[in-house]
Chains A and B, each alone.
Chain A
Amino acid sequence: METTEAGLIARILAGEKELFHELIRPYERMVYLTLFSIIKNETDAEDGAQEAVINAYRHLASFRGEAKFSTWLTTIAINEGRKRLRKSKGTAEQSIEEQEESHEGDFTPAPLTDWREIPLEALERKELREALRVAVAELPDIYRQVFTLRDLEELNIEETAQALGINPGAVKVRLHRARMMLQKRLVPFLKTTAPARKGFFGRAL
Protein backbone atom coordinates (compact mmCIF):
# COMPACT_ATOMS: atom_id res chain seq x y z
CA MET A 1 0.00 0.00 0.00
CA GLU A 2 1.32 3.41 -0.96
CA THR A 3 1.30 5.65 2.09
CA THR A 4 3.62 8.50 1.08
CA GLU A 5 1.98 11.82 0.41
CA ALA A 6 2.28 11.46 -3.37
CA GLY A 7 0.94 7.94 -3.05
CA LEU A 8 -2.00 9.10 -0.96
CA ILE A 9 -2.85 11.76 -3.51
CA ALA A 10 -2.73 9.23 -6.34
CA ARG A 11 -5.02 6.87 -4.45
CA ILE A 12 -7.51 9.65 -3.63
CA LEU A 13 -7.63 10.67 -7.27
CA ALA A 14 -8.11 7.04 -8.24
CA GLY A 15 -11.24 6.93 -6.09
CA GLU A 16 -10.22 6.25 -2.49
CA LYS A 17 -11.69 9.56 -1.42
CA GLU A 18 -11.81 8.80 2.27
CA LEU A 19 -8.03 9.03 2.38
CA PHE A 20 -8.30 12.78 1.99
CA HIS A 21 -8.93 12.93 5.74
CA GLU A 22 -5.55 11.38 6.28
CA LEU A 23 -3.82 13.59 3.72
CA ILE A 24 -5.06 16.79 5.30
CA ARG A 25 -4.55 15.92 8.95
CA PRO A 26 -0.88 17.01 9.23
CA TYR A 27 -1.78 20.40 7.74
CA GLU A 28 -4.94 21.31 9.62
CA ARG A 29 -3.11 23.57 11.99
CA MET A 30 -1.25 25.29 9.20
CA VAL A 31 -4.42 25.99 7.24
CA TYR A 32 -6.12 27.54 10.26
CA LEU A 33 -3.14 29.68 11.23
CA THR A 34 -2.77 30.93 7.67
CA LEU A 35 -6.40 32.01 7.60
CA PHE A 36 -6.11 33.53 11.05
CA SER A 37 -3.06 35.55 10.01
CA ILE A 38 -5.18 37.14 7.31
CA ILE A 39 -8.58 37.61 8.93
CA LYS A 40 -7.68 37.71 12.63
CA ASN A 41 -11.03 36.44 13.78
CA GLU A 42 -11.37 32.91 15.14
CA THR A 43 -14.81 32.08 13.77
CA ASP A 44 -14.14 33.47 10.31
CA ALA A 45 -10.73 31.86 10.21
CA GLU A 46 -12.27 28.50 11.04
CA ASP A 47 -14.96 28.87 8.37
CA GLY A 48 -12.28 29.89 5.91
CA ALA A 49 -10.10 26.96 6.87
CA GLN A 50 -12.97 24.53 6.21
CA GLU A 51 -13.65 26.17 2.88
CA ALA A 52 -9.97 26.03 1.92
CA VAL A 53 -9.77 22.33 2.75
CA ILE A 54 -12.91 21.59 0.72
CA ASN A 55 -11.46 23.60 -2.16
CA ALA A 56 -8.23 21.65 -1.96
CA TYR A 57 -10.25 18.45 -2.15
CA ARG A 58 -12.26 19.62 -5.15
CA HIS A 59 -9.18 20.77 -7.02
CA LEU A 60 -6.81 18.02 -6.02
CA ALA A 61 -6.55 16.83 -9.60
CA SER A 62 -4.95 20.16 -10.53
CA PHE A 63 -2.13 19.62 -8.05
CA ARG A 64 0.77 18.67 -10.25
CA GLY A 65 3.40 18.02 -7.70
CA GLU A 66 5.63 20.84 -8.93
CA ALA A 67 5.29 22.59 -5.60
CA LYS A 68 5.11 20.78 -2.30
CA PHE A 69 1.60 19.84 -1.29
CA SER A 70 1.94 22.05 1.81
CA THR A 71 2.81 25.09 -0.32
CA TRP A 72 -0.04 24.41 -2.71
CA LEU A 73 -2.46 24.07 0.18
CA THR A 74 -1.13 27.24 1.81
CA THR A 75 -1.74 29.12 -1.44
CA ILE A 76 -5.35 27.95 -1.43
CA ALA A 77 -5.69 29.03 2.19
CA ILE A 78 -4.22 32.46 1.43
CA ASN A 79 -6.57 32.96 -1.50
CA GLU A 80 -9.52 32.01 0.64
CA GLY A 81 -8.41 34.44 3.32
CA ARG A 82 -7.94 37.28 0.86
CA LYS A 83 -11.32 36.62 -0.70
CA ARG A 84 -12.99 36.84 2.69
CA LEU A 85 -11.07 39.94 3.61
CA ARG A 86 -12.15 41.69 0.42
CA LYS A 87 -15.73 40.71 1.06
CA SER A 88 -15.70 41.99 4.62
CA LYS A 89 -14.09 45.24 3.58
CA GLY A 90 -16.59 45.82 0.81
CA THR A 91 -15.29 46.54 -2.65
CA ALA A 92 -12.34 48.65 -1.59
CA GLU A 93 -9.75 47.57 -4.10
CA GLN A 94 -6.78 48.32 -1.89
CA SER A 95 -6.05 44.64 -1.61
CA ILE A 96 -3.42 43.23 0.63
CA GLU A 97 -1.52 41.94 -2.37
CA GLU A 98 -0.83 45.50 -3.33
CA GLN A 99 0.57 46.58 -0.01
CA GLU A 100 4.21 47.46 -0.19
CA GLU A 101 6.77 47.67 2.50
CA SER A 102 6.81 51.15 3.85
CA HIS A 103 10.22 52.67 4.08
CA GLU A 104 9.16 54.60 7.07
CA GLY A 105 9.07 53.13 10.48
CA ASP A 106 11.61 52.00 12.95
CA PHE A 107 12.76 48.45 12.46
CA THR A 108 15.65 48.45 14.84
CA PRO A 109 15.56 46.11 17.81
CA ALA A 110 15.34 47.31 21.39
CA PRO A 111 18.69 47.23 23.10
CA LEU A 112 18.58 45.46 26.41
CA THR A 113 20.59 46.43 29.38
CA ASP A 114 21.20 44.15 32.32
CA TRP A 115 20.29 41.15 30.26
CA ARG A 116 21.11 37.63 31.06
CA GLU A 117 19.92 34.65 29.18
CA ILE A 118 16.42 34.01 30.34
CA PRO A 119 15.91 30.58 31.82
CA LEU A 120 13.85 28.16 29.78
CA GLU A 121 11.25 27.98 32.54
CA ALA A 122 10.58 31.67 32.04
CA LEU A 123 9.48 30.96 28.50
CA GLU A 124 6.82 28.74 30.00
CA ARG A 125 4.97 31.69 31.43
CA LYS A 126 1.49 32.16 30.07
CA GLU A 127 1.70 35.97 30.06
CA LEU A 128 4.62 35.81 27.71
CA ARG A 129 2.69 33.69 25.25
CA GLU A 130 -0.30 35.96 25.51
CA ALA A 131 1.90 39.01 24.91
CA LEU A 132 3.36 37.35 21.84
CA ARG A 133 -0.08 36.52 20.45
CA VAL A 134 -1.16 40.11 20.86
CA ALA A 135 2.04 41.49 19.37
CA VAL A 136 1.76 39.22 16.32
CA ALA A 137 -1.89 40.16 15.83
CA GLU A 138 -0.93 43.81 15.88
CA LEU A 139 1.80 43.54 13.25
CA PRO A 140 0.92 45.22 9.94
CA ASP A 141 -0.69 42.63 7.62
CA ILE A 142 2.21 42.11 5.23
CA TYR A 143 4.61 41.47 8.07
CA ARG A 144 2.26 39.23 10.03
CA GLN A 145 1.64 36.99 7.04
CA VAL A 146 5.28 36.45 6.26
CA PHE A 147 6.07 35.89 9.92
CA THR A 148 3.23 33.36 10.25
CA LEU A 149 4.26 31.30 7.25
CA ARG A 150 7.93 31.40 8.04
CA ASP A 151 8.27 31.25 11.82
CA LEU A 152 5.00 29.69 12.87
CA GLU A 153 4.37 27.25 10.05
CA GLU A 154 8.04 26.87 9.30
CA LEU A 155 7.89 27.16 5.53
CA ASN A 156 11.24 28.10 4.01
CA ILE A 157 11.89 31.39 2.26
CA GLU A 158 11.18 30.05 -1.23
CA GLU A 159 7.95 28.38 -0.17
CA THR A 160 6.81 31.51 1.66
CA ALA A 161 7.55 33.62 -1.41
CA GLN A 162 5.69 31.20 -3.66
CA ALA A 163 2.65 30.98 -1.40
CA LEU A 164 2.34 34.75 -1.04
CA GLY A 165 3.24 35.55 -4.64
CA ILE A 166 6.12 37.83 -3.70
CA ASN A 167 9.84 37.53 -4.31
CA PRO A 168 12.23 35.92 -1.83
CA GLY A 169 13.95 39.26 -1.22
CA ALA A 170 10.68 40.76 0.00
CA VAL A 171 10.17 37.75 2.28
CA LYS A 172 13.54 38.38 3.90
CA VAL A 173 12.93 42.09 4.38
CA ARG A 174 9.45 41.60 5.80
CA LEU A 175 10.54 38.77 8.05
CA HIS A 176 13.40 40.79 9.46
CA ARG A 177 11.14 43.73 10.17
CA ALA A 178 8.46 41.55 11.73
CA ARG A 179 10.97 39.92 14.03
CA MET A 180 12.49 43.23 15.06
CA MET A 181 9.08 44.75 15.76
CA LEU A 182 8.22 41.75 17.92
CA GLN A 183 11.52 41.88 19.72
CA LYS A 184 10.91 45.51 20.54
CA ARG A 185 7.38 44.84 21.73
CA LEU A 186 8.32 41.88 23.89
CA VAL A 187 11.48 43.11 25.50
CA PRO A 188 9.66 44.44 28.57
CA PHE A 189 8.15 40.98 29.12
CA LEU A 190 11.40 39.19 28.51
CA LYS A 191 13.32 41.47 30.82
CA THR A 192 11.08 41.01 33.81
CA THR A 193 11.74 37.30 33.68
CA ALA A 194 15.31 37.88 34.84
CA PRO A 195 15.59 38.27 38.59
CA ALA A 196 16.22 41.87 39.60
CA ARG A 197 19.73 42.52 40.79
CA LYS A 198 19.91 43.97 44.26
CA GLY A 199 21.77 47.22 44.79
CA PHE A 200 22.66 49.02 48.00
CA PHE A 201 20.10 48.67 50.75
CA GLY A 202 18.40 45.91 48.86
CA ARG A 203 16.94 48.18 46.25
CA ALA A 204 16.43 46.71 42.84
CA LEU A 205 18.64 48.39 40.30
Chain B
Amino acid sequence: MKLDCKHVWEHISEYIDKTVDAKLREEIELHLEHCEICSAILDSTRNILVLTADDRTFELPVGYSERLHKRLAKELASSEKDSEEE
Protein backbone atom coordinates (compact mmCIF):
# COMPACT_ATOMS: atom_id res chain seq x y z
CA MET B 1 0.00 0.00 0.00
CA LYS B 2 1.28 3.42 -0.88
CA LEU B 3 0.87 6.05 1.80
CA ASP B 4 -0.35 9.50 0.97
CA CYS B 5 1.03 12.61 2.67
CA LYS B 6 -1.94 13.10 4.96
CA HIS B 7 -1.57 9.58 6.29
CA VAL B 8 2.11 10.24 7.02
CA TRP B 9 1.26 13.46 8.87
CA GLU B 10 -1.12 11.59 11.12
CA HIS B 11 1.72 9.38 12.25
CA ILE B 12 4.58 11.86 12.36
CA SER B 13 4.51 12.22 16.12
CA GLU B 14 4.51 8.48 16.71
CA TYR B 15 7.17 8.06 14.07
CA ILE B 16 9.40 10.50 15.94
CA ASP B 17 8.71 8.64 19.20
CA LYS B 18 9.41 5.32 17.47
CA THR B 19 6.08 3.89 18.53
CA VAL B 20 4.81 2.94 15.07
CA ASP B 21 4.95 -0.72 14.18
CA ALA B 22 7.67 -2.01 11.88
CA LYS B 23 5.47 -2.25 8.80
CA LEU B 24 4.13 1.28 9.04
CA ARG B 25 7.59 2.57 9.82
CA GLU B 26 8.89 1.04 6.62
CA GLU B 27 6.05 2.55 4.61
CA ILE B 28 6.65 5.97 6.10
CA GLU B 29 10.36 5.75 5.37
CA LEU B 30 9.64 4.77 1.80
CA HIS B 31 7.36 7.75 1.45
CA LEU B 32 9.89 10.12 3.02
CA GLU B 33 12.53 9.06 0.53
CA HIS B 34 10.70 10.68 -2.33
CA CYS B 35 8.49 13.26 -0.61
CA GLU B 36 10.24 16.53 0.16
CA ILE B 37 7.20 18.06 1.77
CA CYS B 38 6.85 15.33 4.38
CA SER B 39 10.61 15.25 4.98
CA ALA B 40 10.53 18.99 5.62
CA ILE B 41 7.64 18.62 8.04
CA LEU B 42 9.48 15.88 9.87
CA ASP B 43 12.70 17.91 10.04
CA SER B 44 10.97 21.03 11.23
CA THR B 45 9.02 19.15 13.90
CA ARG B 46 12.22 17.49 15.10
CA ASN B 47 13.96 20.84 15.24
CA ILE B 48 11.19 22.18 17.43
CA LEU B 49 11.64 19.27 19.81
CA VAL B 50 15.41 19.81 19.96
CA LEU B 51 14.79 23.44 20.75
CA THR B 52 12.20 22.56 23.39
CA ALA B 53 14.59 20.26 25.22
CA ASP B 54 17.29 22.95 25.20
CA ASP B 55 17.51 24.33 28.74
CA ARG B 56 17.95 27.85 27.44
CA THR B 57 14.53 27.90 25.81
CA PHE B 58 12.51 27.54 28.97
CA GLU B 59 14.46 29.24 31.70
CA LEU B 60 13.76 29.37 35.38
CA PRO B 61 13.28 32.69 37.16
CA VAL B 62 16.59 34.08 38.40
CA GLY B 63 17.20 33.00 42.00
CA TYR B 64 14.48 30.34 41.89
CA SER B 65 16.65 27.57 43.27
CA GLU B 66 18.05 29.68 46.11
CA ARG B 67 14.59 30.79 47.20
CA LEU B 68 13.26 27.24 47.00
CA HIS B 69 16.00 25.81 49.22
CA LYS B 70 15.70 28.67 51.66
CA ARG B 71 11.99 27.98 52.05
CA LEU B 72 12.69 24.27 52.34
CA ALA B 73 15.33 24.86 55.00
CA LYS B 74 12.74 26.78 57.02
CA GLU B 75 10.29 23.91 56.66
CA LEU B 76 12.89 21.34 57.71
CA ALA B 77 13.81 23.42 60.72
CA SER B 78 10.21 23.78 61.84
CA SER B 79 9.50 20.07 61.37
CA GLU B 80 12.61 19.40 63.45
CA LYS B 81 11.13 21.49 66.24
CA ASP B 82 7.78 19.71 65.96
CA SER B 83 9.32 16.29 66.31
CA GLU B 84 11.29 17.43 69.35
CA GLU B 85 8.13 18.65 70.99
CA GLU B 86 6.32 15.37 70.42
A66 interfacial contact with B, CB 8 Å: no
**Contact status A118-B64, CB under 8 Å:** no
**Contact status A32-B60, CB under 8 Å:** yes
Interface residue SS majority, chain B: helix
Partner-contacting stretch, out of A71-79, A84-92, A94-102, A104-112? A104-112
**Contact status B71-A50, CB under 8 Å:** yes
**Contact status A133-B76, CB under 8 Å:** no
Q: A42 to B64: give the CA distance in the assembly, Å.
A: 10
**Contact status A46-B61, CB under 8 Å:** yes
Partner-contacting stretch, out of A1-9, A173-181, A196-204? A173-181
Residues from chain B with a CB closer than 8 A to the CB of A29 are: 55, 60
**Contact status B52-A152, CB under 8 Å:** yes
Give the contacts of B1-25 with A (CB-CB under 8 A): 6, 9-10, 12-14, 16-17, 19
Residues from chain A with a CB closer than 8 A to the CB of B48 are: 132, 179, 182-183, 186, 190
A111-B13 contact in complex given A151-B49, A182-B48, C-beta closer than 8 Å: no
Chain B interfacial residues counted at CB < 8 A: 42
A49 interfacial contact with B, CB 8 Å: yes
A38 interfacial contact with B, CB 8 Å: no
Q: A32 to B71: give the CA distance in the assembly, Å.
A: 15
Q: A192 to B36: give the CA distance in the assembly, Å.
A: 18
B45 to chain A minimum Cβ distance, whole angstroms, is 5
Which of A49, A154, A183, A186 has the largest count of B CB atoms less than 10 A from its CB?
Answer: A183
**Contact status B41-A54, CB under 8 Å:** no
Give the contacts of A143-172 with B (CB-CB under 8 A): 147, 151-152, 154, 157, 172
A63 interfacial contact with B, CB 8 Å: no
Counting from the closest, the 10 A-B pairs by CB-CB distance are A176-B13, A115-B40, A112-B40, A109-B41, A129-B57, A111-B37, A183-B45, A50-B71, A151-B52, A17-B76
Residues of A participating in the B interface, judged by any CB pair closer than 8 Å? 17-18, 20-21, 24, 28-29, 32-33, 36, 42, 46, 49-50, 53-54, 57-58, 108-113, 115, 117-118, 123, 128-129, 132-133, 136, 147, 151-152, 154, 157, 172, 175-176, 179-180, 182-183, 186-187, 190
- Jot down 8 A-B pairs with beta carbons below 8 A, ordered by A: A29-B55, A57-B76, A58-B79, A128-B51, A136-B52, A154-B53, A180-B13, A186-B48
A157-B19, A176-B10, A183-B44 known, 4 other contacts, Cβ within 8 Å: A46-B64, A57-B72, A176-B12, A179-B48
